[in-house]
Amino acid sequence: MRRAFINTLLELAEKDPDLYLLTGDTGFTILEEFQKRFPGRYYNIGISEAAMIGVSAGLAMSGKTVFVYTIVPFVTMRCFEQVRIDLCYQNLPVKLVGVGQGFTYGTAGATHHAIEDIAIMRALPNMTVICPGGPIETKKAVEESMKLSGPCYIRLGKSGEATVHESSDISFTIGKGIKVRDGEGVALVATSNMVPVAAEAADLLKKEGIDPVVVSMHTVKPVDRELIADLSQSCFLIATLEEHNVIGGLGSAVGDVILEEDLPVRLVKFAIPDVYAPVVGSQQYLREQFGLTPGQVFSRIKNEIL
């Protein structure tokens, strides 16, 4: 996904002489090409995230389009107040790009896990939260983010993420979920790196005669209320899937809509149960600990239905 991001950014920077990229000293082997081609618009600010966000605001206030790139906790939490005031309060079109969704940096430890980012970014007025489900959606998300007049947060993985789309030519609109496959009865609504997990779980369910809808809810804020209402017509159960804390993420966003619209549908949340990972683990291992693998999703859905 990092590769998809930077390749898209290179294309955009070619066309837009006011596009800047800032990094907080991360992105080794990813950002060099941008630096080489656009040296006056690339700044490694150093390990100073608060300053980096302030600088991005000042550049945006001077007519620049700024992408700020670093690992999720350092672009959302370390400098949270700068994001809140400098970007959101002032409503500036700065794009925060966080690398390492969920347990991407599993063995690095919980300092590097990204499990609260969606919740805290969602809580900020003016902020748009986009969690692309793979490289194809990443490219589209970055392109579409150029149309936003306010700040956005784009949550990325690292490398080797699966895609669920057969073609790279997908229709992608910020705020509109994508039906990856149609079905009925059950809807698997996933975001970010759980979209491929949802697709695999759907394959397993299909073998049992259950034909779930699979949705990539790439924009968690504003969440696609229309699509959720629509799903509640054809499904009796919506399962949300996210590699994120159970509080404040996709499950909460979808749950809010169900309650507010009084939709006749059950909600099951697949998420991290409000804990920091208690043991060392790779992404795959930690997913297993929290019931986030396709097989576990399949089993729990089956149990919920029977």
Partner 1 sequence: MEKISTEIRKRLVTMHQTGSHFGSAMSIVDILTVLYFKIMNIPSPDDPDRDRFILSKGHATSAWYTTLAKKGFFPEEILDTYLDDGGQLYGHPVRGGVPGVEASTGSLGHGINIGIGMALAAQNDGKDYKVYVLMGDGELQEGSVWEGAMLASRLKLDNLVAIIDANKLQGFDRVENIQPINTFRGKWEAFGWIVKEVDGHDHGELEATFHEVPFKSGCPSVVIAHTIKCKGVPEMENKFESHYLSVPKDKVEQYVKELDEER
Q: Which is nearer to partner 1, 63 or 160 (CB)?
A: 63
Q: Which of 7, 48, 126, 234 binds partner 1 (CB under 8 A)?
A: 48
* Residues paired with 134 in a beta bridge: none
- Could you tell me if residue 68 is left (phi over 0), alpha (psi between -120 and 50 degrees) or otherwise beta? beta
Residue for token pair 């930077």: 6
Q: How many CB atoms lie within 10 A of CB 219?
A: 25
Residue for token pair 């389009």: 65
Contact 255, 284 (CB under 8 A): no
Looking at this protein, which amino acid is placed at residue 225? Answer: R
* Residues paired with 129 in a beta bridge: 153, 221
Residue-level length of the chain: 306
The CB-of-51 to partner 1 minimum distance in angstroms stands at 4
The CB-of-60 to partner 1 minimum distance in angstroms stands at 7
Q: Which is nearer to partner 1, 63 or 209 (CB)?
A: 63
The CB-of-153 to partner 1 minimum distance in angstroms stands at 19
Q: Which of 1, 4, 19, 57 binds partner 1 (CB under 8 A)?
A: 57
Q: Which of 13, 21, 31, 45 binds partner 1 (CB under 8 A)?
A: 45
Q: How far is 141 from 33, CA to CA, in rounded Å?
A: 21
The CB-of-33 to partner 1 minimum distance in angstroms stands at 20
Contact 294, 270 (CB under 8 A): no
- Does 90 bind partner 1 (CB under 8 A)? Our answer is yes
Local structure of residue 121 (DSSP, 8 states): H
- Does 55 bind partner 1 (CB under 8 A)? Our answer is yes
Torsions phi, psi of 21, nearest 5? -125, 125
- Does 60 bind partner 1 (CB under 8 A)? Our answer is yes
Contact 66, 56 (CB under 8 A): yes
Q: Which is nearer to partner 1, 50 or 305 (CB)?
A: 50
The CB-of-120 to partner 1 minimum distance in angstroms stands at 17
Q: Which is nearer to partner 1, 45 or 187 (CB)?
A: 45
- Does 50 bind partner 1 (CB under 8 A)? Our answer is yes
- x/- site string to partner 1, residues 100 to 139, per CB under 8 A? ----------------------------------------
Residue for token pair 């149609």: 182
Integer-rounded Cα Rg, in Å, for the chain is: 19
- Does 150 bind partner 1 (CB under 8 A)? Our answer is no
Local structure of residue 116 (DSSP, 8 states): S
The CB-of-1 to partner 1 minimum distance in angstroms stands at 27
Q: Which of 6, 9, 31, 53 binds partner 1 (CB under 8 A)?
A: 53
Q: Which of 63, 160, 209, 278 binds partner 1 (CB under 8 A)?
A: 63
How many residues interact with partner 1 (rule CB under 8 A)? 27
Q: Where are the beta strands (DSSP E) in 100-208?
A: 128-130, 152-156, 178-181, 185-190
Interacting residue ranges for partner 1, rule: CB under 8 A:
40-41, 43, 45-46, 48, 50-64, 81-82, 85-86, 89-90
